[in-house]
């Protein structure tokens, strides 16, 4: 494969030769990349076309819907419904699965996607993206119901995301490594620029929303406390902390230079055991991370092994460098067994964080 000259289309055609029944999957991926080009253009022109701000509506998640959320969702549906490769689709923006119109043939795959991840950042021009996952439809199913989409992440045959930032990219895996492609606007094609992405096993950088610290479980507070203590603490090295509030941007940074991302379980909203959607966000990025040599966990187990119970189920997410993920899993296991009674010095009554915690 020629670095800098191989297109995404050529790459996935080569992968087809390794996959049983791969022709339909490759054609579907081509439809997805076409949708991502249209979405990239819509995002780039958003303010020029009045597609910024809010629609005033909320989605099934109870989140504000941006005009570009709706535009991106419609683009993905229209780009992928007609090809005859899908039995059905499910979107983060839609309460129920999307039925393929009767005028189109049905195929063997299911597509689930977040049409515009990080859309709350649109008005400040921060990187956003599209996340997608492909599953096999159960044998004989041509009109899938919600339960047919409830497959563990290990069942994914393809996963990826498109990134709409300084450069438009697609990062994808068909189960044979994680590869990055950059859109060349002069020829309108995604070109292989980041083959065989690899995540180092350890890290010096982590990402977490520190505004939720008072709601974290003790294992997470312990981990963050040790990182912030730097070279004078038990870790013996300094860490940088990052937070973009756009999952695709966070995951892309980890794939480029390593690190750890956390959106852990917390007590802020007891009705939500996690913040990120299992089918539309956690599973596809977990597959990408694992294919790059990293790890992805709920803190208490592998994300890809979670058995989905609902179409819009949420889970805690810890992903990135495998040694850091393993450390956090160990901290959770020790806490759950009652082996460690932990109180972070960052949260005790004499500290600045402790005083803030008490005030809240």
- Percent of the chain beyond pLDDT 70? 88
Domain boundaries of the chain, sorted by first residue: 8-194, 205-359
Q: 360 pLDDT band (50/70/90 cuts)? A: very low
CA distances for 113 relative to 12, 59, 90, 142, 328, angstroms: 20, 14, 7, 19, 28
| Range from 12-16, 140-144, 265-269, 351-355 that averages highest in pLDDT | 140-144
Report angle CA 246, 250, 255 to the nearest 5 degrees.
145
Residue 127 token pair: 């990187």
pLDDT reported for residue 350: 39
Q: What is the pLDDT of residue 51?
A: 60
Q: What is residue 346's three-state secondary structure?
A: helix
Summarize the confidence of residues 257-277 as an average pLDDT: 92
Q: pLDDT grade, residue 5 (50/70/90)?
A: confident
Is 2 a residue whose pLDDT tops 60? Answer: no
**pLDDT tens digit string along 165-202?**
999 999 999 999 999 999 999 999 999 999 999 999 99
According to DSSP, residue 107 is labeled: -
Phi, psi of 93 (to 5 degrees): -85, -5
Tell me the CB-side half-sphere exposure of residue 87, using CA atoms within 13 A: 18
Closest CA relative to residue 80, chosen from 42, 128, 25, 118: 25
pLDDT reported for residue 60: 63
Higher pLDDT, 178 or 48: 178
Q: How far apart are the C-alpha atoms of 281 and 315, rounded to whole Å?
A: 10
Same fold, 8-194 and 205-359: no
Least confident of 110-114, 299-303, 355-359: 355-359
Residue 340 in this model has a pLDDT that exceeds 80: no
The token duo for 151 is 């497959």
Provide the mean pLDDT of the chain. 90
Distance (Å) of CA 29 to CA 21, 85, 274, 280: 14, 10, 29, 16
Is residue 234 predicted with pLDDT exceeding 80?
yes
pLDDT tier at 352, thresholds 50, 70, 90: very low
**pLDDT category of residue 18 using cuts at 50, 70 and 90:** confident
The class that CATH gives domain 205-359 is alpha beta
Answer yes or no: is pLDDT of 147 > 60. yes
Mean pLDDT of 81-100: 97
341 has pLDDT over 90: no
Q: What is residue 124's predicted lDDT score, i.e. its pLDDT?
A: 87
pLDDT of residue 52: 60
Question: For residues 297 and 330, is the Cβ–Cβ distance under 8 A?
Answer: no
pLDDT of 222: 97
If one compares 136 and 340, the residue with the highest pLDDT of the two is: 136
Model pLDDT, residue 50: 63
Fold designation for 8-194 = Fructose-1,6-Bisphosphatase; Chain A, domain 1 (3.30.540)
Residues 124/94, Cβ–Cβ less than 8 Å: no
Q: What is the Cα–Cα distance from 77 to 100, expressed in whole angstroms?
A: 9
Residue 81 and residue 88: Cα distance in Å, rounded?
8
């Amino acid at each position: 494969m020629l670095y800098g000259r191989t297109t995404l289309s050529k790459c996935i055609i080569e992968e087809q030769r390794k996959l049983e029944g791969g022709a339909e999957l490759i054609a579907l991926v081509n439809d997805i990349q076409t949708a991502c080009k249209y979405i990239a253009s819509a995002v780039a022109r958003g303010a020029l076309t009045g597609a910024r701000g809010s629609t005033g509506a909320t989605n099934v998640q109870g989140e504000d819907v941006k005009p570009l959320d709706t535009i991106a969702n419609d683009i993905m549906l229209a780009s992928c419904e007609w090809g005859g490769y899908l039995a059905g689709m499910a979107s983060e923006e839609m309460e129920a699965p999307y039925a393929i119109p009767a005028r189109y043939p049905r195929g063997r795959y299911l597509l689930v996607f977040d049409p515009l991840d990080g859309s709350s950042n649109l008005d400040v021009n921060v990187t956003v993206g599209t996340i997608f996952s492909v599953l096999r439809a159960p044998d004989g199913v041509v009109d899938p119901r919600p339960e047919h989409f409830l497959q563990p992440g290990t069942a994914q045959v393809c996963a990826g995301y498109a990134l709409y930032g300084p450069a438009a990219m697609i990062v994808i895996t068909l189960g044979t490594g994680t590869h990055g492609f950059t859109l060349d606007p002069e020829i309108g094609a995604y070109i292989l620029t980041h083959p065989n992405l690899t995540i180092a096993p350890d890290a010096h950088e982590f990402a977490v929303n520190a505004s939720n610290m008072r709601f974290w479980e003790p294992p997470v507070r312990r981990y963050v406390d040790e990182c912030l203590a730097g070279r004078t603490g038990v870790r013996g090295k300094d860490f940088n902390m990052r937070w973009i509030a756009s999952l695709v941007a966070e995951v892309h940074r980890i794939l480029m230079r390593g690190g750890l991302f956390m959106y852990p379980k917390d007590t802020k909203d007891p009705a939500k055991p996690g913040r990120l959607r299992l089918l539309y966000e956690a599973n596809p990025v977990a597959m990408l991370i694992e294919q790059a040599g990293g790890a992805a966990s709920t803190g208490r187990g592998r994300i890809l092994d979670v058995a989905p119970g609902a179409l819009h189920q949420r889970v805690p997410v810890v992903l990135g460098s495998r040694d850091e993920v393993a450390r956090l899993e160990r901290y959770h296991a020790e806490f759950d067994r009652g082996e460690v009674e932990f109180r972070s010095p960052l949260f005790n009554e004499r500290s600045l964080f402790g005083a803030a915690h008490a005030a809240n």
